[in-house]
Copies of this chain bind each other. A is one copy, B any other.
């Protein structure tokens, strides 16, 4: 392998390209698995970040599940790859039930989430008609972020009744502390995790006290999963972006810069010296339009600029992005010196939001860990 090893593996790639550092990814996976394991619970990873069968094999317990997905397309691809236990964690629309049933018929234990009587009636009806009791988690809203029912809402018991008497399987409850992305630091995130836990566990207790089954009590977001101190009453924790991490997660203190496993490889294509700009061939088509750090203490523009080996430059970020042009400059107020980066120089950009940046690409150029093949290509799942 000498020939390959003397040429750094990224040199041969056209830019822009999506680079995944497998060593960092494996460290991130292990960190969360150990933490949640130490609290006596297992992880149900959310595959929406990576959307990759190869990543799922490393992320999932024994490579086959349990897993969380954000689209039925993901469920279909992962099921075909042998994942046998999938939670589709977006409120079910009745028109999607035939695809859920088709997947279940092929042997994949797909469960769905809902938060209304109309959805419960549709799931119950589809369960009766198919003779297959579709498993359901009732979605609980723990922080006003988006979907779900408030703990204490009497409608929850009505939904439980419609499901259990109607032919569906009431499997449990789930919640997602989406607002935790706005909290910063260990104490605030631990408090969020406790609020998330308390909300979903209280509903589980109410259901059981009323004679309903509630085998699964599912919570999670990457921030709360890493800072939870007590998971009493919870049976599983979901997290997604921890597999790669990103600048938003660094900004709220969930990871360090060095944990970020994903970057966009780009090439310098020009300069505007009087304005202090370096133009690169990664615009928003490669980086995404996600500006998740704009509301944080440190705004990273469209991403932090590193050299081709991943070492950062002081204060150098992508300050602006057009479709195929990124404008690299020192962050406002910086006293650092603009580095000399001639046309043709390769750089790597760390993303604000790994889920959004990865979605701009069809697959990963993977810097493999501990193998003689330094570079692999792992395709991503697209569409719905």
Contact = CB atoms under 8 A, between A and B. Distances in A.
Interface of A: 14-17, 48, 70-71, 90-96, 99, 114-116, 118-119, 122, 141, 144, 146-147, 178, 267-272, 275, 277, 279, 281, 284-286, 288-291, 320, 322-325, 327, 342-344, 355-356, 359-362, 382-384
Given A116-B271, A119-B270, A147-B279, 5 more contacts: A48-B323, A90-B325, A147-B272, A284-B290, A362-B382
If over half of A's interface residues share one DSSP class (helix, strand or loop), that class is named, otherwise mixed; here it is loop
A325 B147 CA distance: 9
A283 B383 CA distance: 13
Nearest to A114: B270
A93 B288 contact: no
Contacts of A178: 322
A376 B16 CA distance: 31
A324 B90 contact: yes
A343 B93 contact: yes
A268 B93 contact: yes
A284 B360 CA distance: 12
A119 to B, nearest CB: 6
A20 B96 CA distance: 23
A91 B279 contact: yes
A71 B320 CA distance: 19
A92 B269 contact: yes
